[in-house]
Structures are given as structure tokens and as C-alpha cells.
Amino acid sequence: MPDMTLTTFDWVPDLPRGYVRDLRVRWALEEAGLPYRVTSIPFAPSIPFRKLDTVQRAQQPYAQVPWLTDGGQTIFETGAILLYLGERSAALMPHESSRRQDVITWLFAALNSVEAASLPWSIFHFSGDTEQTPGRQHLDAFLRARVAYTEQCLAGHDWLADTFSIADILMADVLRLVHRLGGLADAPACRAYIARATDRPAFAKAHADQMAHFVAADRRLQCQPDPQKGKAE
């Protein structure tokens, strides 16, 4: 039985499928060839804030997924989980000090410079609010600038650091959502980078496994007896 256990939601609606952040962890585990199993908690978004049971509060204080347990160690935050896995596999992060530091730097850039701009921008998109308010325009401009800089960094490079690493898993996953929402129209190098990253067999396996996980949940739900059935009118 594998020591590592990845926890995600048991089910999500169609829209986020293929984008739930357990994908980042699955992808890294597949790249590294590390054995793991997947467990789930009931889907219940925390907006508005939901109560956590004690076990979940101990694992993910923000009521989110994913988290990873390895023996007695629990890690939450996908950046922290990928760093943890990076320590365990040269396929994810080189051992040599300066190359390793490059990976760590880019990992933070993906989360703290690009996702920090893309997350509020994508929440606006999903809200369906199309008003060109000053706040909205500011968010658009903020993301456009981050994408433009990333575009320059990626032009002429396959990966962010020397070779493929956990930084690419995070950056490609962050950019994938921006691309899905039409935010990379002027960024051919970012689009090519996403294509290169998602062509990797480990991504294909991680993505297929996440989709299968939620399809299995659909089937389980369909099999549940309808409580209204058989009731007298």
C-alpha cells in the first residue's frame, strides 16, 4: 500500500473538472513515478464559509483541497506539496544548488506573481459580471502585464528553469486556466508552453485520472435510490 495519500473532493460540477488543484499533485507524482492513493472528502465550497470538522481542520485550515499525507506528515498548499515532492525526486527538482534555487524562484513566481493576478481575474470571469468598472479594468491590466512578462521569459525557452520541473507544473496549470478564459490571445509563447507541458504523458495520466474520479462519483450518485420514489402522493 503506498504511503502517500492525496485528498481531494469526492465530486465537483462539470465546470472545474480537469482544473481542480489535486491535478498539480497527481501530475508531480506521475512525473516522479511515486506511488500514491487518492481519498476524498465531500464537496462543499467554503464560500460562504463552511464549518470544518476537526479532522479536516487539522489537514487544511482553509477548508480547501488538496492535501497530501505521507506517513505522519500532512502538507497543504499545492506549492508546498510540490516542493515536498521535489525534494524526493530529481525528475521534479534538480539537486544542484543554483539550479534548485531557480526552480524554487519560478515556483513562487507562478503562484505569487501570476496566479495572484489570474485568480481574482478568473473569479470575475466566472461571476458573469461584464461591467467595465475601474476595478475590473485594473484587474485586466494587472493580468495582461503579468502575462506579457511571462511571455518574454518563455520566448525561446522550453521550460522556466533549465529542465522541466515542479515550477512548470504550477506555471502551466496557472496559465491553462487563463487560456481557457481567453486571456492568452496575445501570448503565443505561453500557449506553446502549455501545449508542451500538457503533451507530457504524466499530465495526460493525471488529467484522465481526475476526470475518471469525478465520473465515478456521478455513477455513484445515479445509483443512489431516489428518496421521493415510492412515496404515496
Ligand X SMILES: N[C@@H](CCC(=O)N[C@@H](CS)C(=O)NCC(=O)O)C(=O)O
Under the rule (CB under 6 A), what is the footprint of ligand X?
20-21, 45-46, 63-65, 77-78
Minimum distance from residue 45 beta carbon to ligand X (Å): 4
Neighbour-count burial for 61-100, b at 16+ CB within 10 Å, e otherwise: eebebbbbbbeeeebbbbbebbbbbbeeeebbbbeeeeeb
Helix axes 22-32, 166-180, angle to 10 degrees: 140
Nearer to ligand X, 189 or 217 (CB): 217
Minimum distance from residue 186 beta carbon to ligand X (Å): 27
Cis previous bond, 66, omega within 30: yes
Minimum distance from residue 79 beta carbon to ligand X (Å): 6
186: Cα within 13 Å, side-chain hemisphere: 8
Nearer to ligand X, 64 or 198 (CB): 64
Nearer to ligand X, 77 or 151 (CB): 77
CA dist 109 and 185 (Å) reads: 21
Nearer to ligand X, 77 or 140 (CB): 77
